[in-house]
Structure 1
Amino acid sequence: MDAFPNRLYMEIQRHGTADEEKTEQAFLDLAFKYNVPLVATNEVFFATPDMFEAHDALLCIKDKTHVIVNDRRRLNPEYYFKSPDEMKKLFEDLPEAIENTVNIAKRCGFMVEFQPPALPIYPDCEPVGDDIQKAREEMYDKIRNYLTDDPKTGKTVQEQLDSRTLGELQEAVTVQKRARAGLVKRLEVHVFTPDMTDEDKKQAGQKYYDRLEYELSVIIKMKFSGYFLIVSDFIAWSKAHGIPVGPGRGSGAGSVVAWSLTITDLDPLRFNLLFERFLNPERVNMPDFDVDFCQTRRGET
C-alpha cells in the first residue's frame, strides 16, 4: 500500500465459479481491514453467452484435448462482455466497486507521442572513402535536386542535407543508383522490342525515366530509401534461394522504383497504376509492400 498510495484496489470478479465464491469474502475482509477500495471487473473471452460452446471448442483445440474430457481447462457462459446495467445488477450490493471502475478509467490518461518510423540503416550501401566530409558533399550533389525547401519545417535544402546521417545519405544514393540500373534492365526485357531504333527506345523509355525520377524524389525526401532497399534485399535473397515470391499486390505494385528493384514484377505504366496510392508527401504512415511468399518456405525468409 505504501508503494502505491491511493492507487491500490482490491479486484472482485463474479463469474459464478467455485473459487470466486470461496475467496470473495476473504478479499472483502482484507479490503475493509486495510481500507483498500474495491473495484468490480469482468474477464471477457467472448461477446455473448451463446458463443460459449464455440469458445470452449477453441480452448480444446488449443490445449489439444476434447470437449468430453472433464479434467481440462474450462470457463462458463458468464465470461461474456456484460453491459453496464448487467454489471451494476451483479454488484448491486457493492456499488462502490462499480463506481471505482469509472474512477480508474478517469485516471488513465495517456497520449501516444508520434514517433517517426525507426528502421535499421541498410548495411550494403555504396561505400565511402576516409574523407567523410568529401563523401557527404559528393552525395549531396547526387540527391540535391530531389529536395526542395520545406515550408513546414522552414528548412532549406542544404539544412535538410546537413541534418541527414551518413547512413541516410548512403541509402539515398544507393537506391538511386540501383533503381536507375534496374530500370535499364527492365526496359530491355519488357518494353523494348528488337525492331526498335535507338530513337524509338528513347521515346518509349522516357516516360519510365520521368516516373522513376519523380518517385525517387518522393522516396528520398521522405527518407524511405532504406525501406525500399531492405525489401528489395530479402526478396532478391528469396528468389536466389528458389523461394517463390508473388509478382506484386496492393498499392506497392504502382511503383516504378519497386519494379526496377525487382520488389514487384508488374510494369506500373503498362497497367496505368498510380504511385501516389502507395506513397506521397501527404502520407504520414510508412509505406507497406504486400509480399506473398511460398507458404511452405516463407519461414526461411
Structure 2
Amino acid sequence: MGKRILLATSVAIFFFLLFWFNSNSVAPSAYTLPTSEKSRENGKYLVSAGGCVSCHGKASDTSDEVDINSLAGGLQLVTNFGDFYVPNITPDKETGIGLWTASNFIGALKHGIQPSGAKYYPTFPYRAYAGLSDQDVLDIGAYLMSLTPEKNIVPQHELPLWLTRFSANIWNQFADITQRPRELSPYNKNEAYVRGAYLARNLGHCGECHTPRNLLGIPKLSEEFSGATLGEEVIEPIDADALTEWSENDFDLFLLLGMKPNAEFVGGDMSDVIEHNTSRLTDSDRAALASFFITYQRDKLNSEKISRL
C-alpha cells in the first residue's frame, strides 16, 4: 500500500510540475513594443523573411491559395495529428491579436505560450522561434500591430480527443528531453555563419519541414535538414550530402529564383516559399544562407568523415 501511495504521489507531482513549467506566462511589464518606423520596417522584413504569409495568409473559400496581402489566417493544415486552422494575426481586437501586449509576443514566439497562459500546439514553430532575439520579436509585434485590423473568425481545430493543450505541454517536455543542444560550432565567431544559422534554424525555421521527425512528431536534430515527409508529400533534403554538387552561387540563385543547378525549377509548396519568402531576402541574407548550407555544412560533414577514419 505504501509503495502505491508513493507512486501515486510521485506521478501527481510529476504532472503538476509538468503543467506548471509549461504554463508560466511572461511578466506583463517586462517588455514594450517599439514605436519607431525603423522597428516597424525591420518587423515587416522579418515577417517576410520568416514566411509568415505562407501560413497566415487569408484562406480562400474556393481554393487552397491564400491572399498574400492579408494575414487574417484561416488556412487549414492537415497533419497526421489532426486538422489545424491558422489564426488571424492582424490587430483585430475580437478575432485577431489586437489586445496583445509586447510580453504576449515574447511569450508566443519564444515560449509557445498563449496570452491565456495555455501552450500553443507545435504546428506553430515556437521551438524554432525561441532562438529569435527579443528585439526582433518586438519589431515583428510592432509591425503586426500597425496593420489594418481584419475581422476573420477562424474555425476551431479538428483534433482527436487525446490531443489537448495539456498533452501539448507533455510533448514539449519530451522535445526538451530528446533534443540535445547542438554542438558549439567552430564558426560561431563568423558573421556569415551566425546570420545564416539564425535565418535557417530560427527565423526561416527550415527544419520544420526539411528535418525528419520521430513518432511523436519531434524533429530529429541529429538528422537536421536530411529530408522528411509531410502526409503524402516528400520534402527534399537540404543537408551537405544532398547539396554536394551545389556551389554557394547555385544556392543563392535557388533562393532568388527557385532554380536548381540542373536548370530545373522547384514546384509544390516550395515555390510559394521562394516567391513570398526567400526571393525577398536581402542579398547579404541570401549569401549568409548559402554560406551556411553549402560551405559550413559541408565542412562539418567532412570533419565528421575524418573523425571516423
TM-score (norm 2): 0.23
Q: Which has the larger radius of gyration?
A: 1
TM-score (norm 1): 0.23
